[in-house]
Chains A and B, each alone.
Chain A
Amino acid sequence: MSYAPSPAALGRIEAAIARYPERSAALLPVLHIIQDESGFVSPDAEVWVAAKLSIAPVRVREVLSFYTMFRRAPAGRSTLQVCHNVSCALAGAEDILLFISEKLGIAPGQTTPDGAISLVTVECLGNCDHAPCLQVDGVDHGPASRETVDALIEELKSHA
């Protein structure tokens, strides 16, 4: 099982490498591009990236395992991130998190059995004037209430 990106992703990868004076500096953007396409970065993809950027595979693993946004295993089709830092906690983030957990039947860190939604807690998203705030597949939501969360989850499930 070897890895190869799609021609479109490969084009983006080549363009990313060209933006930096040193190939290895493109490691973060390249991992973003691969994860955007595949949903995660597999061990085979790590080896491919290492060869592409002329660095040791362990360097790819170091970086991949350091940054919380990178995934080394598949997640749900959508990822629901709930901020639980201070401003959001003051606005009821723990209640919202509990509500979502019960509604989806999963704990933070888990994915619904149908593979639709992964639930995770995150630290400050820089959207504190919309507390409690969520981010779903990169899109900001907030202030979140039981009603807005209900609607959001219905929408995510309909994408299945």
Chain B
Amino acid sequence: MLENGVRLLPVDDDSWRLEAYLRRGGYETARKVLTTMAPVDVIAEVCKAVLRGRGGAGFPAGVKWGFVPKGGAGPKYLCVNADEAEPGTFKDRLVLLRAPHQLLEGMLITAFAVGIRSAFIYVRGEYARVSRRLEKAIAEARAAGYVGPRLFGTDLGLDVVVHHGAGAYICGEETALLESLEGRRGQPRVKPPFPAVVGLFRSPTVINNVETIATVPQILARGADWFLGRGLAKDGGTRLYSVSGAVRRPGTFELPVGTPLREIIEVHAGGTPEGRSIKAVIPGGLSAPVLRPGELDVAMDVDSLSRAGSMLGSAGIIVIPEGTAMLDILHATARFYAHESCGKCTPCRIGTAWILKVVERLRSWGGGPADLDLILRLAEGIKGRTLCPLGDAAALPIHALVTKFRSELERAVAR
């Protein structure tokens, strides 16, 4: 068990296969957990490790598992959220491609901890090709007895089904994902009841991001203290940071939680190409409010980004270079949320479409600086008035773009 548990992503692209995974100690942690541990101790260890959700909300995974009622006669479900669609995020793609067995091992441990025998992996429709490797890995695991009935000689079993979405950002929201899995429009549900109590097919359900679940074996292999020590912040472990935009080496970097944003951009992603400087950075996927060059000395963990007025979100970092028209960024942002609003809540449905109309008017020289105030008022009207986080995810970045780049936007539209 030397290599297993140290890195989430193997460096070698070919090491996704079961044989390679077993060579580096794969499934040994699940064997240990299922044959020697009590579920309550597994949950306690993951709670102690402060494994915060890697999908966007940052909710501690162990705490979420603890919300599921103990016992009960009916089924319970595990849903792995592989609906990676937050713009600027491409890390779960790599987990599915390079570490599918690590995901499956994490699912076995999670299912054991919560008392689940049936799991679904919700993969965004656009990742159908990516999903083929996951499906091959599941077939390998099933053939070798790592997925299916009677795991490791116990009475425990786990059935795994891959479900493909069909192009809807909203399905990354956990209750919209459940609706979609049940064969309906991906429109969020009213909470409470929370999915841990009433989820998929009206049964208690755990929903976690791909990276979150794939990180679980590390914690049980080496312990919560080791995991906590891996992070630079008070939450534990490493994270997969996606970096795109104006950098020399765009890609995904596995680094401690709390690594400084500037270090990720300048050291790991190689900094901006020669002759270009940074104008702005979106630190956690498009929904995260933009940071200016003077705000980049921030640690990439949930609490630090929150204090900086933004959010860690999916840790998708987009570097915007000097020379970019921020009106264009505002337009791409407004267009995205207007397109992806599911239509259920009026403030989001009408607000995002209205903001897009105003931005389009500004781009065609038909508006003026007063329209910027209208955009701010519309964003404020959406914020906090929707069932799911998409409303805030639209309102906050748009509000930040307009307030932080107000003088440039005023110059751009004042003619």
Contact = CB atoms under 8 A, between A and B. Distances in A.
Interface string B300-321: 0000000000000000101011
Contacts of B333: 86
A132 to B, nearest CB: 11
Given A21-B201, A67-B166, A69-B167, A85 B286 contact: yes
Given A70-B166, A86-B329, A87-B88, A123 B125 contact: no
B246 interface: yes
A27 B125 CA distance: 14
B149 interface: no
Given A123-B169, A123-B336, A22 B182 contact: yes
A125 interface: yes
Contact of B246 (A29, A90, A129): A90
Contacts of A122: 126, 167
Nearest to A26: B183
A20 to B, nearest CB: 8
Give the size range of A's interface with the partner: 35 or more
Interface in A73-104: 84-87, 89-91
B64 interface: no
B166 A69 contact: yes
A114 interface: no
Interface stretch (B44-52, B65-73, B79-87, B383-391): B79-87
Nearest to B166: A67
Interface stretch (B157-165, B191-199, B213-221, B227-235): B157-165
A86 B332 contact: yes
A110 interface: no
Nearest to B132: A138
Interface string A15-51: 0000111101111110110000000000000000000
B115 to A, nearest CB: 17
A22 B201 contact: yes
A90 B245 contact: yes
Contacts of A125: 126
Given A59-B184, A69-B125, A86-B329, A126 B164 contact: no
B9 to A, nearest CB: 14
Nearest to A143: B250
B168 interface: yes
Given A86-B282, A90-B321, A140-B129, A29 B245 contact: no
A156 interface: no
Contacts of A27: 183-184
B208 interface: no
A105 to B, nearest CB: 25
A116 B90 CA distance: 30
Contacts of A128: 87-90, 242, 244-245, 250, 316, 318
A29 B125 CA distance: 10
B163 A29 contact: yes
A125 B92 CA distance: 12
A63 B185 contact: yes
A68 interface: yes
Given A135-B126, A140-B129, A124 B186 contact: no
A13 interface: no
Interface in B357-373: none
Given A28-B183, A63-B185, A86-B329, 14 more contacts: A22-B201, A24-B182, A29-B163, A32-B125, A55-B183, A63-B183, A66-B186, A69-B166, A86-B87, A90-B245, A123-B340, A124-B336, A128-B89, A129-B90
Interface of A: 19-22, 24-29, 31-32, 53, 55, 59, 62-63, 66-70, 84-87, 89-91, 122-131, 135, 138-140
Among all A-B residue pairs, the 3 with the closest Cβ atoms:
A27-B183, A67-B166, A128-B244
6 contacts: A28-B164, A32-B125, A66-B185, A124-B336, A128-B242, A129-B251
